[in-house]
Amino acid sequence: MMQPNSNSDSLWGSTRKISLLEKLFWRNKREKKALTTPEIIEKKCEGILIGEQKLKSFLFSTDMAIIENNDADAILAVYPFAPSSRIIKSLVDFCSKPVICGVGGGTTRGKKSLEMAQYAEEMGAAGIIVNIPFENHDLQKIRKKITIPIIASIASSDYNFLKSKIDAGVDIFHVTGGKYTNKILKDITVNFPGFPIMATGGTSLGNIEESISSGSKAIVLSPPSNKDLFKVMMDKYRKSLSHF
């Protein structure tokens, strides 16, 4: 599990150093956050253009406290329940950065997903994402009704499967293939050169670097839980008390 500021290989341990020139002339200075994304993403990722912004890091979270205290470029708001209009509105209103809203997968599809996709666009979401089991005929219906990007999570590099997703209206692939992620990334890069791909970052800086080298244009990061963050904090407090 990722821990903030614990060691050099921590996903959340590095803080980007800002040069004197940036301090003087960079008008849109990024506020220093408690959870900082790894420098390697900013340095080596090409980024994916969504709207008018090039995004390199996506935080996989719906926790407002975590969202408020991280410096990722965008939020990937996906959860293991039916999509909720209240959650969509709350997150889009709350976030000062682009939000990608989950609208369907294995349990939610058809009319409900279409309604959630349209609602997400109306509320100002930067894009929508559907999970692996989502069917192409539902994607086609959504594509006809919204203009924001459609992201599809995938765990296969089968040419016909991917081509059918693209033909149905998918703009970006989110590769979440576990140990096969890098192979899938390489296959997509060969078979669909230039197609935007993002990938789940794994559990170490090494995983992230491998994904970028394999063709991922952006990285999805899973933050530490509140429980883990409190554990780090309380361990520190307990150690300080041992001096008394």
Which residues, in sequence order, are CB contacts of 27 under 8 Å at separation 6+? none
**Alpha-carbon distances of 83 from 22, 133, 178, 184, 199, rounded to whole Å:** 40, 15, 24, 28, 22
> pTM, whole model, 2 decimals?
0.84
pLDDT at 244: 52
pLDDT at 26: 38
Closest CA to 102 of 119, 221, 200: 119
User: For the chain, which residues score pLDDT lower than 50?
Assistant: 1-9, 14-29
Q: Say if CB 235 and CB 10 are below 8 A apart.
A: no
pLDDT at 93: 97
- What three-state secondary structure class fits 171? coil
pLDDT at 242: 61
pLDDT at 235: 74
